[in-house]
Chain A
Amino acid sequence: KAGVTQTPRYLIKTRGQQVTLSCSPISGHRSVSWYQQTPGQGLQFLFEYFSETQRNKGNFPGRFSGRQFSNSRSEMNVSTLELGDSALYLCASSLETATEAFFGQGTRLTVV
């Protein structure tokens, strides 16, 4: 059974640009959550999607958004990138809820 797949693995963007990250969950998993990981703040919850609906959102500015498609694949978008957005972005999938979440390898975003 394939795990959670995140693309791309690495990304370098310039301040002010926007970026879209992709996540394909484990087959059959309907819940997809996104997390930002930085050395200073650790793992912080961004949002969770279930059946194409955002069910929960963390304390991030509106520049961070996401969506989920009918096949449960999810994308997150960050607009007007700032240097502080440099981080490892992790996607996790689970059957129903965010419990027993299985993580992808992450996308390492560097903003210069």
Chain B
Amino acid sequence: GQQLNQSPQSMFIQEGEDVSMNCTSSSIFNTWLWYKQDPGEGPVLLIALYKAGELTSNGRLTAQFGITRKDSFLNISASIPSDVGIYFCAGQTSYSGAGSYQLTFGKGTKLSVIP
């Protein structure tokens, strides 16, 4: 089946630093999504990307949909303590004719911010 390789697995950064994480796939996706999950909670949608090459920002977060449609990255600028959590990428393909979709998730990047 489809697999997403998300890296790095974990990061320790100083407060105020910028962060970058990415996902790659052997398959083409029509949509890339980025989620953040806090302990004991469900994932929260951060950014959705729909077109190859698309660059979208949400506050200090910026994400891009790779030109090949097989990768995406997420940048966080000027990190703060509340950025701590696990960040997941998710890709979606459309099943032609079926009209149903599923999300394939990366294994996550665990971000720790040192005050």
Within 8 Å by CB of B42, from A58, A98, A105, lies A105
Contact A50 B43 (CB under 8 A): no
Point out which of A56, A101, A106, A108 has the most chain B C-beta atoms below 10 A from its C-beta: A101
Identify whether the interface residues of A are mostly helix, strand, loop, or mixed. strand
Inter-chain CB contacts under 8 Å: number = 71
Identify whether the interface residues of B are mostly helix, strand, loop, or mixed. strand
| Interface 1/0 per residue, B30-41 and A, CB below 8 Å | 010101000011
Q: Is A90 an interface residue (CB 8 A)?
A: yes
Within 8 Å by CB of A100, from B33, B43, B88, B108, lies B33
Chain A residue nearest in CB terms to B88: A43
> What bracket does the count of chain A residues touching chain B fall in?
20 to 34
* Contacts A50-B100, A56-B101, A99-B48; A42 near B107 (Cβ below 8 A): yes
A-side interface residues toward B, CB under 8 Å? 4, 6, 33, 35, 42-45, 48, 50, 55-56, 58-59, 90, 92, 97-106, 108
